A and B are shown apart, each in its own frame.
Chain A
Amino acid sequence: MTAAPYDTYRAGLDAGRLTFQRCRACGEAWLPPREDCPHCWSADWGWEEASGKATVVSWVVYHAAFDKRFADRLPYNVAIVELDEGPRMITNIIEIPPDEDVIGRKAILAFERDHDRLLPRYRLDPS
């Protein structure tokens, strides 16, 4: 039996590698992991490793902890980034400058260990 796509993705993260899926039929690339191509519905796809370069699409700042595990971190940010290869993902920006619009800024993948897991977070590209 083959591993569920998310389990393979998570195993990559645990090894410090960010991967995404690409369809062999139409070339579409995507995250989060799923069983079929969301563009052409093909089940014929493979894994690729991300370059780690991305762009910020949007971000928010939590002032309320709906998830109690984050109560002592307020305020904290959650962001959407778009990988240079196309897929989008939810992440956190490490050291986000206050009062600055970071949408459109380039960001670089930076793994951090948190909640006993390696998490793919991002730092803003200073250049």
Chain B
Amino acid sequence: MRGKAVIAGIGHTAFGKQPGRSTVSLNIEACRNAVADAGIEKNAVDGLLVKVPTSKVEMMYGQKLAEAMGMSPRFGGVFDQGGASNISMIAIAAMAIEAGQCEVALVTLADNPRTGSRHAYEKVWGDDADFGWSSVVAGYAMIARRYMHDHGDVSDIHAAIAMACRKHGADNPHAQLRLPLTREMYDASPWVVGPLRRDDCCLVSDGAAAVVVMSADRAKDLGVKAPVPILGFGQGNSSIDVPLREDLTETQAGVSARTAFAMAGLAPKDIDVAQIYDCFTITVAMTLEAYGFAPKGKLAALVKEGGFEVGGALPLNTSGGLLSETGMPGLQLVLEGVRQMRGFSSNQVLDAETCIVSNQGGIMHTHSTLILGRQ
């Protein structure tokens, strides 16, 4: 499959607050921009895959969106793995195209928890609500506390991740939060659920992003100007709930990455730039280790080598990530991977030829990996 499918176009909305806009309308704006970017007509699209919004879960959302777009796609619907859905749907689109199920697919995500409902992030956890067990951030904090117990003080690593994302976000004119973060600001940041501080936590955002997926051959036929080849993809699902995970610091992210690396015929040393799902800083630290960029508990060495900013050992989240660009759950990271491979990021990594992108969902319940290359 390596290189057989491409991302032919990308599109997004403004990020931040979108009061009064439905997620259907946000999806349509992102799709309109993605199709225009690919330089194709709407009637060329015969696949439509969409992530269900966190702000409002409803049945048959994929068909609702297709109806609003005046489409009857051959292949389409919702695939739900939380934040991992985006990359998984790109992979599903690539496989569907290879299997002759459709020719050109839109993969799209819209959400509006900032002006709509944040229930998905703040809800109480079922029968354990009587203990005060609530919110997504607390699940990640449970993992972070155990990680710190096992690996010692990791505040330098968390700070380095947050500072790199915020620096890159400050350089991105589309970013929701364009305020660089100093170490002093990080250390003074208030606790939300200890051991996680406010600046360890991603933004809450309205907005949408979309990509157009097609075969490399089809892109040539249609005269697509800047197709970005998909070199590899993979996924892994821990699924087990956080309290019951035998080792709280182990996920299936490594399984996901190894599947993607095997398809691409690449290894971590071959990766020039990374877009790592940063709902919380701990997620980035654990993902980088699981991916093989550093042995477990040894990420500090990578920070010392110049860290995660452009020009460093491993530049990451070059558009600002969820911590700075937009807290939307994930597809925007793929868009930035495409910009890096096209050579037009606002934080361009010079001569970058490979980009790895991670998406994950729940509280590290799901994971999906994408490796992009240069045309």
Contacts and interface: CB of A to CB of B under 8 A. Distances in A.
Interface residues of A, number: 33
A10 B143 CA distance: 27
B124 interface: yes
Contacts of B128: 32, 90
A81 B190 CA distance: 27
A66 B141 contact: no
B199 to A, nearest CB: 14
Interface in A63-83: 63-64, 66-67, 69-70, 73, 75-76, 78, 80
Interface size class of B (residues with CB under 8 A): 20 to 34
A62 B132 contact: yes
Contacts of B135: 64, 66
B132 A57 contact: no
A78 B133 contact: yes
A66 B145 contact: no
B129 A88 contact: no
Contact of B142 (A60, A115, A121): A60
Contacts of A67: 124, 129, 132, 134
B131 A60 contact: no
A76 B133 CA distance: 10
Interface string B129-155: 111111100100111011001000000
A41 interface: no
B248 interface: yes
A78 B132 contact: yes
A95 interface: no
Contacts of A73: 132
A1 interface: no
B39 interface: no
Interface string A111-125: 000110101010000
A89 B243 contact: yes
A59 B142 CA distance: 6
Given A58-B248, A92-B132, A64 B142 contact: no
A104 B143 CA distance: 15
Residue of B143, B145, B195 contacting most chain A CB atoms (<10 Å): B145
Contacts of A90: 125, 128, 131, 133, 243
A59 B195 CA distance: 9
Nearest to B145: A58
B192 interface: yes
A89 B244 CA distance: 8
B193 interface: yes
A64 B196 CA distance: 12
Contacts of B124: 66-67
A67 to B, nearest CB: 4
B306 interface: no
A114 B130 contact: yes
Interface of B: 122-125, 127-135, 138, 141-143, 145-146, 149, 190-195, 242-244, 248
Q: Which 10 pairs show the lowest CB-CB distances between chains A and B?
A: A61-B194, A60-B141, A90-B128, A66-B135, A66-B122, A63-B191, A58-B146, A103-B149, A66-B134, A67-B134
29 contacts: A32-B128, A57-B248, A58-B143, A58-B146, A58-B248, A60-B142, A60-B145, A60-B193, A60-B194, A61-B191, A62-B138, A63-B190, A63-B193, A64-B193, A67-B124, A67-B129, A69-B132, A73-B132, A76-B132, A80-B142, A80-B243, A89-B243, A90-B133, A90-B243, A91-B131, A92-B132, A103-B146, A104-B149, A119-B130
Given A62-B132, A103-B145, 8 more contacts: A58-B145, A60-B194, A63-B193, A63-B194, A67-B132, A78-B132, A80-B142, A89-B243
